[in-house]
Amino acid sequence: MNADNRHLESKKIIVLGGDGFCGWPTSLHLSNVGHEVIIIDNLSRRNIDNELEAESLTPIQPMGTRLKVWKEISGKEIKFYNTDIALEYDHFLKIINDEKPDVIVHFAEQRSAPYSMKSSKNKRYTINNNMNATHNVLCAMVESGLDIHLVHLGTMGVYGYGTAGMKIPEGYLDIEVETEAGERVKQQILYPTNPGSVYHMTKSQDQLLFQYYNKNDRLRITDLHQGIVWGTNTKETRQDERLINRFDYDGDYGTVLNRFLMQAAVGHPITVHGTGGQTRAFIHIQDTVRCVQLAIENSPSYEDKVMIFNQMTETHRVRDLAMLVSELTGGEIAYVSNPRNEAPENDLHVRNDLFLSKGLEPITLDEGLLQEVTNVARKYAHRADHSKIPATSTWTKDQLPGVPKEK
Ligand code: NAD
Ligand code: USQ
């Protein structure tokens, strides 16, 4: 028996957002290890590419081709519904009632912080889409009356990055309060959120929805507080070029490490925001799919509170990543002014004992970086549109209300 299906009991799993960067390789992995997988996606991410006139560096195929190739290669069928879970509640509920899943994995949110900060329209879209998507999932779970385990992809960004040197716990903070009678009483609370963008704020709100529905309707929920995902392919997406995963590099959707790798590969300066003193949490896409599998296999029971895992494997300072990529490739580093409103320097220490205790064996930067540069960034460099690289979405606009313009 291979390590991936050691504990396998086949389940019916609906993957919301299964066409996206994390959702597609996760769907293939869960199908490969023997689960029945159904994807729901409204293809909004592909439409946003059209809107931004930006494309994945890798040549991703239409959903129909992806599923046909997977069937040819694995013999396994993945069903697909094109539905907007934020806007088409009745259709979504009908799918849940018809399919009767054991598990729902929820990736289906607008996930770019810069995109969420571009304009009022983008802020409102991100709030409407993400809040309604998550709330509709919870309502449908209750209304169906089915016993479904929800696994949601949250973010490390809900914690904020000013933790005064302490290790960020997995979701909950132990506190002590003083009662009227002067006694000290211990309590556990959700770690106070400190989001850094409208997008990150939706993930903070998601946490409250989960806490409420867990308390009121005893829903079984796992929330995965994921760090920045890097890398492109997994064991499954590597099997045929037509299964390739997306690779975002544009100023809105490209995440920092993949952007640096791509920039170095195409001869663009590596764009460090500010001093690059920001420290963030990271995880490779192969570990993402493995973590989701582990979360499914370790489902909470009715008595449990919302189970929260920190889904990250390493922390790095942005300028250190830039230097690492530069040493590996000879790429030049450019320190550019920071379009975001964020702390210029921060330390970050994170607990991730839960996944390690469940058997996660993390892929480290040392193992995967060079392979990523050679097999993906350099291979598809000819598809890059250099005009899409600069990050142009600013967090605060020049003139703040009530603040006099500087002379
Ligand atoms: P993505 O944009 O590539 O994928 C999200 C998918 O959800 C897309 O295919 C999109 O079409 C779909 N979707 C969005 N709204 C929908 C709706 N209303 N109805 C149906 N489908 C909808 O994003 P990703 O990088 O795969 O991220 C997936 C999840 O993981 C997100 O919730 C994100 O917040 C979280 N996450 C991502 C990262 C990262 O580095 N990529 C890190 C931490 C957490
Ligand atoms: N940065 C640069 N140069 C760049 C791009 C980014 O220095 O060219 C800096 C940013 O200023 C920021 C850091 O790198 O300080 C991370 O930026 P990012 O775009 O890689 O990550 P972020 O906006 O936080 O969002 C990404 C995903 C989001 C997920 C989050 C996890 O898009 O969906 O929730 O990572 S976390 O950061 O842990 O909250």
Please give the ipTM for the structure prediction.
0.99
Q: Does 18 score more than 70 pLDDT? A: yes
Q: Does 4 score more than 90 pLDDT? A: no
Q: Is 278 in the pocket of ligand 2 (CB under 6 A)?
A: yes
pLDDT (0 to 100) of residue 166: 86
Q: Taking CB atoms and a 6 Å cutoff, what residues make up the pocket around ligand 1? A: 17, 19-23, 41-45, 84-86, 107-109, 111, 129, 133, 153, 155, 226, 228-229, 255
- 224 in any annotated domain: yes
- Confidence category of residue 3, pLDDT binned at 50, 70, 90: very low
- 396 in any annotated domain: no
Q: Which ligand 1 atom minimizes the distance to the CA of 111?
A: 34
- 146 in any annotated domain: yes
pLDDT (0 to 100) of residue 366: 82
- 92 in any annotated domain: yes
Domain range for 109 is 10-388
pTM: 0.96
- 402 in any annotated domain: no
Ligand 2 centre distance from Cα of residue 374 (Å): 23
Task: Name the domain count of the chain.
Answer: 1
- 320 in any annotated domain: yes
155 is catalytic: yes
- 3 in any annotated domain: no
pLDDT tens for 20-29 read: 999 999 999 9
Q: Does 406 score more than 80 pLDDT? A: no
Query: What CATH number is associated with residue 79?
Result: 3.40.50.720
pLDDT tens for 283-295 read: 999 999 999 999 9
Give me the catalytic one of 155, 222, 255, 329.
155
* Residues 113, 56: Cα–Cα separation, whole Å: 18
- 279 in any annotated domain: yes
Ligand 2 centre distance from Cα of residue 175 (Å): 30
- Confidence category of residue 135, pLDDT binned at 50, 70, 90: very high
Ligand 2 centre distance from Cα of residue 28 (Å): 26
pLDDT tens for 86-100 read: 999 999 999 999 999
- Confidence category of residue 400, pLDDT binned at 50, 70, 90: low
pLDDT greater at residue 372 or residue 259: 259
